[in-house]
Amino acid sequence: MSEKPVVLVTRKLPDAVEQRLSRDYVARLNPDDHQYSSDQVIELAAGADAIVPCHTERFTAEVIDRLPATVRVIANFSVGVDHVDLAAAKARGIIVTNTPDVLSDATAEVAMLLILGAARRAGEGEQLVRTRAWRDWSPAFMVGTQVTGKRLGIIGMGRVGQVVARRARAFDMEIHYHDVRRLEPEAEAGARFYATLDDLLPNCQFLTIHCPAMPGTDGLLDAGRIAQLPDGAIVVNAARGTIVDDDALTAALKSGKLAAAGLDVYRGEPDIHPAYRELSNTFLLPHIGSATHETRDAMGFRALDNLDAVFAGHEPGDRVA
């Protein structure tokens, strides 16, 4: 038998990452990038020492209980770990890691794209051009919301939230935020802190979500909280779809309570709430927050660094369970 640990990889990873995997491990790759079912993951993990999954695979308590006894590590190719039952993994003695830090810039770029795209009606405009429906110009044509100088509320002032704040300051936006703890003054850089979400919301002409998905944030932005936003506010989500109540958000977009929404993540994606596609005041992206060559390579190498540490007998730097 090979002395190298066996690693199951559930999705197609960047070439450089797979090359390193194949050099250092017995890698079970997915070259066709099939979406494996939970049963397939369990079957393919037979004899494996580790699994490198993405957020597209669900490791519920039942799935973790059925994993082969050989599996020691779940080294996620993602920063979010809401797809893994961490308590069940810990109970099984399975180490779980993620890939923080390396995707903050890329995700913040997409958040700014969503802010601008939703505010300036970019989705509608592109469709007009592509479908030859653009006929003329007038002062009333495609009028949107200006971003410069507006108040931006940030839910979750972690790594990504802080980068978004820095990028937004280039548009002279006022930064307001809520988190479970206040930043140090140097990191806050003049942003205004609110101890409760209810205090933050009335001040947000734009609201962007960057908190983690967990039981306490499921449906966090519901009808009651949307009602606290100023009329004509714009909501952006580049974190996780479960944080938003889809029915409440779509109702507010239909009624005009909200001017627009920019979304990169969705509950149940890619089978998203159908109203998002039907509404003209939504700017929609297909979960591409970390989708740059540089970031995807860095995520893969971070996951492998964690694997290397475990199999060398060291504590992985990004352990979450």
User: How far is it, in rounded angstroms, from Cα 143 to Cα 119?
Assistant: 9
CB 141 within 8 A of CB 196: no
CB burial of 218-241 (b: ≥16 within 10 Å; e: otherwise) equals: eebbeeebbeebbeebbbbbbbbb
Nearest C-alpha neighbor of 208 from the set 188, 182, 179, 183: 179
Non-local (6+) Cβ contacts of 186 within 8 A are none
User: How far is it, in rounded angstroms, from Cα 80 to Cα 64?
Assistant: 18
User: How far is it, in rounded angstroms, from Cα 8 to Cα 71?
Assistant: 10
Residues with catalytic function? 240, 269, 287
User: Where does residue 124 fall: left (phi above 0), alpha (psi -120 to 50 degrees), or beta otherwise?
Assistant: alpha
CB 261 within 8 A of CB 286: no
Element (H, E) at 192: strand 192-194
Element (H, E) at 162: helix 159-169
CB 55 within 8 A of CB 289: no
End-to-end alpha carbon distance in the chain: 30
For residue 285, which phi and psi values (nearest 5 degrees)?
Answer: -125, 155
